[in-house]
């Protein structure tokens, strides 16, 4: 028989999170006496003091710090259980939110989405285009169910889904193509580099070579491709995204001594497999099938 309840742990965490009993009362819409009673019952049941009231502020004891970590995990798991039950009771989900990095092969993504929509014609799919850590941020905020991204998600499920090749390119009329020799990074420093900004709001990171003295930073892969193809600079761009540009000559690989081409892993990330509905699971299966050759490259 358990000595404590989830509600007692919730009240205890609310007091800590909001800095006191009065503040917690306003946050969880319970009377201050109710919260006091719940925390005192919790301490009596455990036989340890969790909080010390100093002035108007409630502070954790050493035992309280330890128990808070455990309680936070317990409450999070309880929320997951309820969310899974909600998924089961609802049957097929009505919407699927997917955050996709701009480097992911678009043709593959479109084919996967088309296959999922054929099986679930009433499903609403929201595609959120991101760069670098932006996709994981949306998953962590609960705004996306699934992320396709070059970065691992902390404490989540990460599966390498494919590898993408990036090619250093510029318009064939760009000065870098008329040096008459192989290029070094020193040659690149004197020319404008087109860089794509991390779309995350809270934690932005840089990736790749960023050594050019002049850089234009843009927010979307399409803008970067357009600028480079029109001769405004050079960039490393996903080969799958510029295939037509390479074929018709609007873009040409730079003759670099090293690292003209480089590859990176893209990951399929999500928080909790049990919370994914049938349509999301179909998306995962179709994605794995359609990227099996890319993963082997």
pLDDT digits (tens, 9 = 90+) for 172-225: 999 999 999 999 999 999 999 999 998 877 766 666 777 888 999 999 999 999
Query: In the chain, which residues have pLDDT < 50?
Result: 297
Q: What is the pLDDT of residue 174?
A: 97
Distance in angstroms (rounded) separating the CA atoms of residues 191 and 182: 15
Q: What is the pLDDT of residue 83?
A: 63
Whether the CB-CB separation of 4 and 42 falls below 8 Å is answered with yes
Q: What is the pLDDT of residue 73?
A: 85
Interacting residues of 10 by C-beta distance below 8 A, sequence separation 6+: 28, 75
Distance in angstroms (rounded) separating the CA atoms of residues 236 and 193: 9
All domains of the chain, ordered by start, with CATH? 6-90 (1.10.10.10), 95-162+265-296 (3.40.190.10), 164-263 (3.40.190.290)
Note the helical H segments in 91-235: 106-119, 134-140, 185-189, 221-229
Site of tokens 């009993």: 21
């Amino acid at each position: 028989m358990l000595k404590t309840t989830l509600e007692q742990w919730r009240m205890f965490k609310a007091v800590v999170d909001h800095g006191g009993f009065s503040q917690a009362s306003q946050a969880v819409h319970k009377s201050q006496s109710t919260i006091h009673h719940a925390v005192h019952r919790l301490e009596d049941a455990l036989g340890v003091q969790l909080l010390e009231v100093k002035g108007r502020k409630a502070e954790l004891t050493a035992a309280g710090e330890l128990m808070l970590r455990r309680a936070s995990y317990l409450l999070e798991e309880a929320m997951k259980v309820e969310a899974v039950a909600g998924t089961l009771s609802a049957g097929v989900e009505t919407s699927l939110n997917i955050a996709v990095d701009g480097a992911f092969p678009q043709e593959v993504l479109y084919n996967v989405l088309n296959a999922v929509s054929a099986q679930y014609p009433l499903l609403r799919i929201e595609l959120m285009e991101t760069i670098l850590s932006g996709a994981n941020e949306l998953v962590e905020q609960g705004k996306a169910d699934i992320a396709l991204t070059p970065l691992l998600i902390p404490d989540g499920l990460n599966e390498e889904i494919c590898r993408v090749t990036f090619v250093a390119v510029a318009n064939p009329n760009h000065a870098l193509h008329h040096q008459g020799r192989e290029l070094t990074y020193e040659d690149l420093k004197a020319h404008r580099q087109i860089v794509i900004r991390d779309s995350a709001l809270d934690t932005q990171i840089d990736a790749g070579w960023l050594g050019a003295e002049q850089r234009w930073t843009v927010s979307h892969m399409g803008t970067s491709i357009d600028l480079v193809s029109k001769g405004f600079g050079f960039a490393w761009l996903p080969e799958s995204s510029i295939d037509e540009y390479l074929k018709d000559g609007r873009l040409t690989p730079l003759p670099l001594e090293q690292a003209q081409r480089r590859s990176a892993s893209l990951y399929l990330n999500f928080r909790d497999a049990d919370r994914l509905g049938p349509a999301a699971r179909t998306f995962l299966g179709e994605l794995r099938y359609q990227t099996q050759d890319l993963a082997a490259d």
